[in-house]
């Protein structure tokens, strides 16, 4: 799964720590999501969407399937 977390965070000039505080997770978790090492649960994905004020599908995209 890919996401636009880093771009959205940069647009708001938030640090990873600041975003982590808003989401009530650790900075390492924000970093792992941004770098694609970890896919958040659905509740956390909804929290991220709420924090950025955007629909979830505009932040997260499914991985491309072969032949797409």
Where does this chain bind other proteins (CB under 8 A)?
A: 24-29, 31-32, 37-38, 40-41, 44
User: Cβ closer to other proteins: 10 or 17?
Assistant: 17
Whole-angstrom Cα distance, residue 43 to residue 9? 19
3-state helix, strand, coil in the chain (%, to 5): 55, 5, 40
Please, what is the minimum distance in Å from the beta carbon of residue 28 to other proteins?
5
Please, what is the minimum distance in Å from the beta carbon of residue 31 to other proteins?
7
Please, what is the minimum distance in Å from the beta carbon of residue 13 to other proteins?
23
């Amino acid at each position: 799964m890919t996401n636009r977390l880093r771009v959205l965070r940069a647009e708001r000039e938030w640090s990873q720590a600041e975003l982590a505080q808003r989401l009530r997770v650790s900075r390492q978790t924000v970093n792992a999501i941004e770098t694609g090492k970890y896919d958040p649960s659905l509740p956390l994905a909804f929290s991220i969407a709420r924090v950025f004020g955007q629909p979830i599908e505009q932040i997260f995209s499914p991985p491309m399937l072969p032949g797409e």
